[in-house]
Amino acid sequence: MPFLKYWKLMGFSLTPLLLSSATINSHVIDSSFYLTKNLVESENQSPIQFNQLSRIILVQLEFDPDSIVDNTSITFNNRTLGQKALLKLRFKREFTLAIQEITELNQLVDQAIDKNTVLQNFLTLKNVERKQQWERLSYLYKLLNFDFRDPQELSLVRDLPRLLKTIFESASINFQVRMGGQLRKITLVKNNNNVFNLGQFEQFLNLDQISINLFEVEFLSFDFISDQYPSWTAKNLPVFSLFESAKNKPTIQKTNQGIQYRLRFRSNYNEQYLNKYRFSIPVVNNGKEFSVLDIQDKELTEEQKNQIAFVIKNGFFISGWYGINCCLKFNQIS
């Protein structure tokens, strides 16, 4: 295996920045990183431009399909949506496994007193295990278009776990989207955490969408912003590859300009059954219309308030109801 041959020739003897019992949990890469000393002190020492490396790595991102709703008919609220209220980005499985492989080899070599023995033991692993590890390393080298024989490129490969953690901890991923008929910028990842919660963006929906509980966002492009390391910044990147993992979801649709995520959601949607015969609210006598001021003058019970809110907020009309003309504005009843 030429890779291990040159790994051995490099003769690294690095000291971990953390104790062996310490772990670094990444919210974007679902793994623990083993940190080595900085082998790439500056871009001048790197075999690849950091802006180019950034774009290569960002192509390895995808949306976690388990965080995307796959039902278009049910109206969800905060409780029923659960963890899927948080739309999550992650790295693709192949890339994550490759980084884990580098991490494990770093750990074996750096912590061993007899590094030659460690490498020899690795070479004599069962064929099946060796094949799997080799495939993971090869995936990473092909992705970067690196040569196994280049010691400078090997230095960068060994340092990738640290680089990724360092860069993502001080970066954000911002998307250009269309919501409620207007262009907006939203943040999905900040400081290595997924932060896009559907309930926080209901305010950007238009009245037509609100009336039928429709949550609709069209992703157009995204920027990777690293204020601390500007050379890693990449802007106006396409979104299509991010949705490959979820392209078969009925809530995901390709548009002329990007990808649309469409579901039925209202954070405070009331899913209780409303019985028309129990709908009795003392607002005005012998009147078919009432206003917010009329309601404010009455001392309504919590059930009566909930009934009014249910009808208005959910745009809900039951066959057989007559003479109700609500002049209320949204969210004025609490």
Angle between helices 115-123 and 93-111 (to 10 degrees): 140
pLDDT score of 164: 87
| pLDDT for the residue numbered 45 | 62
Is the distance from CB of 67 to CB of 87 less than 8 angstroms?
yes
pLDDT for 7 equals: 45
- What burial class does residue 223 get, using C-beta atoms within 10 Å of its C-beta: 0-12 exposed, 13-18 middle, 19+ buried? middle
pLDDT at 47 (0 to 100): 75
Q: What is the pLDDT of residue 131?
A: 74
Residue 104: the pLDDT is: 81
Bridge partners of residue 222, in order along the sequence: 175, 237
Quote the CA–CA distance of 124 and 106 in Å, as a whole number. Answer: 18
82 Cβ contact partners less than 8 Å away, ≥ 6 residues apart: none
Tell me which long-range contacts 226-230 makes (C-beta under 8 A, separation of at least 24).
Answer: 226/54, 226/167, 226/170, 226/171, 227/170, 227/171, 228/170, 228/171, 229/50, 229/166, 229/167, 229/170, 229/171
pLDDT at 239 (0 to 100): 97
pLDDT averages per 10-residue partition of the chain, 334 residues: 46 31 40 42 65 92 94 91 92 89 77 64 55 82 82 78 86 96 94 90 90 93 93 95 96 97 89 52 54 65 68 51 39 40
Reported as a single tens digit per residue, the pLDDT across 177-195 is 999 999 999 999 998 889 9
- What pLDDT is recorded for position 92? 92
Q: What is the pLDDT of residue 56?
A: 93
